[in-house]
Structures are given as C-alpha cells and as structure tokens.
Structure 1
Amino acid sequence: MKAVRFTRFGGPEVLEIVDLPAPHPGPGQVRIAVHAAGVNPSDWKKRAGQLDEELPQTMGHEAAGVVDELGAGVGDVAVGDRVFGLSEEGAAQAELAVLSHYAPIPPSLDFAGAAALPAAVETATRALDQLGVGPDSTLLVNGASGSVGGAALQLAAVRGARVIGTASPANHDYLRSLGAEPVAYGDGLVERVRVLAPDGVDLALDVAGSGVLPELVDLAGGPEHVVTIADFLGARQHGVRFSSGDAGRALHVLAEIGELVESGRFSLPVVRTFPLDEVAEAHRVGENGHARGKLVLTVSRS
C-alpha cells in the first residue's frame, strides 16, 4: 500500500510516498480503506524531529474511511461501515490504516469532513475537561480561529459556558458564528478582554502558544485556571498545566460528536484538500498560513 514516510528530518521535501506492507488490526481495532486523513501541526513538528528521534517514521493520527478488516472482539461495526477515528500507530496517511479508537461517520459528513474531526475534538475536549468548563464558566480561548480553537469554542458553548476568543480582526465574524465574543490578540489583550469581562475570566485555554501565558494567568486569576496545549516551556515557567494525551485522552468525544454535528451545534470547516501524493504541499500551506479550519489529504478510490 502507499503511505507517507520520511527517513530524515527536515522540511516538507523529506516526505515521500512509499510502498509499505498492509497493516492488520489487533484486538479491539479496525482497519479502514482510507478515504481522507487529517493534517495537523504535530505532523510538521514530528517531521522536524521535535517529537521523536527514531527513523524512519510514518505520518498521520486521524483518518476516515470504510472498514475492511476487523480485529478480534470487535462487534460494534461491520466490514463496509463508514468510520472515522484515531491511529495510535501514527500511520493514518496511507491507503490503509488501523484505527484504535473509532466511531460512525455522522451521516451529513463526507470523508474529508469526518477526517477533520478526531484530533481537534479530542484535544479540545481534553483541555475543557482538565479546566472543568461548565455552565457557570467564562472561558477565554487564545488562538480561537484554528481547528482546535474553533472546536473548543463550540464544545464549551454546548456545555453552557460563556466563550471569548482571540483572533485577528479578519476572523472575528467567524468566531461570532461559533457563539464566541471575539477580541484581537496582541498588545493590549488584557485591557480588551476586561472590556468584555471587567472581573476577568474564570478559565483560559492557550491554543496558539504565542507567549501570552502571563496575560492569561492574570485574566484567569492564577495559573491553576489556565491550560496550554502549545507552550510547553511557558507552562513550566509560569506554573500552567500543559495538556497532552499522556495524562489520559478524551476519547469519549468520538462517540458524542456525531449528535452535535447532526443537530447543527458543531461544525469544523475543511479549508483545503490535497491528494495523498501532495502531502509536502499540505505541510507548506499549513506551516506558512493561518487556516481557520483543517487541511485534509484524500486518497483516490476510483
């Protein structure tokens, strides 16, 4: 099968499409014929050697497709079902992928739309769970126009929270469409947020990693009320919790997100799709741009 792989660290040019043996699912897993796979910032960090020193490496943690092989003990889906989910092997950008955690694709979504969901909704939900976001919360999301930020805004609103999001002015109407009150990022952020929330906010989530943790700590009344998913060093410096899957993942959201999608309470735009063999270009666009939704690779099944 064709799959994305790299044998040396570097820029997008190190990515290759190679032939690899077809994987097979273990107990509780399913294999899918991949139709679409999500692209995430962690992909280019991995490619640059920031996450794992081993070589070679495959790519991709989320995909959507059609089940074509079942692992032992799987009884909740059948061969031929449309599913989306997460690949623990990090090998979802391929013609075939094993999913360790999966759910049925919401009927209203195509494969690309479904492939955009898993990483964004799991990351956002994990952070919201860690913060304890609920109906009496005012949540500030820094970097709210990207896929994780947009997911966090909507999922917090579903919980009944008041949500404030930072983004460039060009994305403020988009944040309003997600139920958030927008503010511009940059110098003067604290003052702008206090115009909306004079006493500050209850909780803050940093998605952008843009060096604003001191401001978020100020607005939220202490580091214990702030979580970052993007600023590991800043978290250590300022006593803020850094959210990673190592402490437990919010996998419950995979089974829950379909109802929210179908009821119109959650959406995640796919900004652009690329054929699998244009993965390097997808990385360039992702690294150089400020996409407010997801980039997705597609696998031709004609």
Structure 2
Amino acid sequence: MSQARAVRFDEYGGREVLYIAEFPVPEPAPGEVLVQVRAAGINPGEIAIRSGAMRERFPGPLPSGQGSDLAGVVAGLGEGVTDFAIGDEVLGFSWKRSSQATHVVVPANQLIAKPAGLSWETAGSLYVVAATAYAAVRAVDPKPGETVAVSAAAGGVGSLVIQLLRMRGVRVLGIASAANDGWLTGYGVVPVRYGDGLADRLTAAAPDGIDAFIDLFGPQYLRLAVERGIPRDRINTIISFAEAAELGTKAEGSIEASTREVLSEMAELVESGKLEFPIAATFPLDKVRDAFAVLEQRHTHGKIVLIP
C-alpha cells in the first residue's frame, strides 16, 4: 500500500473536527519501526486534547493526528533496529498522537512482541489504561489489608485499578453510580455511590479510616481525600494536575509507567486471565466520530477500539 490513512484534526473542537487524511506511507528513521496498524484504542484524554482543554499541559502543532495505543504487524525497519523483524506482531504506543492510522512509525523501544493469546482489539487498546492503572496503584503503595478508595472505579482505568488492588489483598471502596453496584461487587469491591453525601457514605463503608485514595475523575475527590486526613503522599490523581500541585498530593499516570517492562507485565496479566480487560465496541477508522460519540456517554464497561 503506497498510501496511508489517519485520523486528523486541524482545529480544536468537538468530534466534528475529526476527519480521515491520506498521505504517503511513512519511512522509519534510524531506531524506528513502521507498523501496519491492526487496532488502535481511543481514550478520554484524547477528547480533552482535541477540545483544547489540555493545550497548556500537552501543547502540539495543528493539524494534529490522534492516538497513543496501537497493535499491528511490523512492515518496515529503520537502521539499527534489531529487536524485530518484518512480519512480527507487536503492540505498544506512540507519543506523537499518531496511532489512529493504517500505518505509523514509532521508536523500537516503545514496542513489545504481542502475546499470542491477546486479540488485536485487546493488544491495540492496552497501553494507556494499563500504564495509567499501574502507575496510579504504585503511587499509593497499597499494603495487604489496607482500605483504598477509588473514584470513577467503573471506568476504563478504574476497572484495572480495582483489579490490581484486589490482587494485592486490598479492601477497595469503588466510587461510582448506583448502576455499577453489581458490577463492582462482582470484583470484590465495596460500591460507594458518588454525589451529595459521599463523605458520609465513605465513613459508613470504612469506619476505621481510609489508608489511600486514587482519583481518576476530578479535583473534588482530591479535596475530599485531603479533608479526610489521608496522608498526601498516599493520594494520587491521574487528571487534576494543578490541584495536586496546590494540595501537595501525587499526580502519577501513564507517563510514569511508559516502559517496556510495565507493558509486558500488564500484557501477561491480561493474557493469563489474571486481569479482565473487556472490549466494549469496535469501529472502522472512518467511523471515528461515532466511536467518540459512544465514549463520551461514559457508560461503557470496556475499551472502544478503531480497526483500520
């Protein structure tokens, strides 16, 4: 194929600014790999970037591509790359907002071999949520028998966070809507409904106190955690960076865990079945607007994936 296709946007805005562009298949530079993409996940953070809400923290030139998660087949090798061969199946990540495409070049050190037991959909949507969940759990250093509260516990990152915590023998309070009670209970999590009166419900669920707090939603939860006297070095957010700096809490996410070692560990946990990683829906590349329409409803359990 001499032409590649990719999701693009020329200006900040809603999903209506997204379109599919055609361009020559890129050539890998030294140290890079050309991947023919089989699957690429979409993530809520991409909505914030595309809308312009994150332009100060994550500036970038326009027009812009989109996407970090990817899995596919090696189609070209740059000079000096010895870890992979043409035809290898790989998964990994791009830091250039470029994975939602038919072809993408990425540094070889941002790819790992795709485990045979992972579907393309799973492999192609793993990186962001896996690295984020890993970093968030590591940041609060949970110990067996402790109680940890998690906001947005039923979301994409939350679903992995609660499982990682349970694997460590932690009692988890999962903050979410009442509609998620049964789903959370199925993972051994104590559901706690968000909204007015949350502080009282947390006290009722954990009368002896909460040891750590993982925020996956917004600043109100950071303030609540601080007000409850949880040590600030055991409060972590993946989203409220300004408030974390103001309050002195942690703000560790995917960037802090973007390594081959972490990605390999999480891929093996999913392949073995120790971590459940559901796929909610798949869309062809040219239906990217429809995919984000579903994501923006925030009601899916599992990843939404583009299939180029």
Q: Distance in 1 between matches of 2:183 and 2:88?
A: 33
The answer to whether the Cα contact below 8 Å between 2:112 and 2:260 also exists between their aligned partners in 1 is: no
Q: Distance in 1 between matches of 2:300 and 2:263?
A: 23
Aligned AA (1:41):
P
**Residue 24 (structure 2) aligned to one of 21, 29, 35:** 21
The reply on whether 1:11 has 2:11 as its aligned counterpart is no
**Residue 30 (structure 1) aligned to one of 33, 52, 60:** 33
Q: Distance in 2 between matches of 1:74 and 1:33?
A: 17
Q: Distance in 2 between matches of 1:55 and 1:160?
A: 46
The answer to whether the Cα contact below 8 Å between 2:139 and 2:234 also exists between their aligned partners in 1 is: no
Aligned AA (2:10):
T
1:46 maps to which residue? 49
The reply on whether 1:224 has 2:250 as its aligned counterpart is no
Q: How far does residue 277 in structure 1 lie from its aligned partner after superposition?
A: 0.5
The answer to whether the Cα contact below 8 Å between 1:6 and 1:58 also exists between their aligned partners in 2 is: yes
The answer to whether the Cα contact below 8 Å between 1:203 and 1:220 also exists between their aligned partners in 2 is: no
Percentage of identical aligned residues:
39
| Cα pair distance change 1:9/1:72, threshold 3 Å | same
Q: How far does residue 53 in structure 1 lie from its aligned partner after superposition?
A: 5.1
Q: How far does residue 153 in structure 1 lie from its aligned partner after superposition?
A: 1.1
Aligned AA (2:16):
E
1:208 maps to which residue? 217
Q: Distance in 2 between matches of 1:31 and 1:141?
A: 38
Q: How far does residue 64 in structure 1 lie from its aligned partner after superposition?
A: 1.1
The answer to whether the Cα contact below 8 Å between 2:237 and 2:252 also exists between their aligned partners in 1 is: yes
Q: How far does residue 117 in structure 1 lie from its aligned partner after superposition?
A: 1.0
- The aligned runs of 1:13-162 (5 Å cut-off) are 13-50=16-53, 51=55, 52=59, 54-100=61-107, 101-162=110-171
Q: Distance in 2 between matches of 1:242 and 1:142?
A: 14
Aligned to 2:7, the other structure's residue is in SS state strand
| Cα pair distance change 1:251/1:128, threshold 3 Å | farther
Q: Distance in 1 between matches of 2:267 and 2:256?
A: 25
> Normalization by structure 1: what TM-score?
0.90
Unaligned runs of 5+ in 1: none
Aligned AA (1:93):
Q
| Cα pair distance change 1:215/1:257, threshold 3 Å | same
Q: How far does residue 20 in structure 1 lie from its aligned partner after superposition?
A: 2.2
Q: Distance in 2 between matches of 1:220 and 1:108?
A: 44
Q: How far does residue 191 in structure 1 lie from its aligned partner after superposition?
A: 2.3
The answer to whether the Cα contact below 8 Å between 1:84 and 1:103 also exists between their aligned partners in 2 is: yes
Aligned AA (2:242):
L
The answer to whether the Cα contact below 8 Å between 2:66 and 2:98 also exists between their aligned partners in 1 is: yes
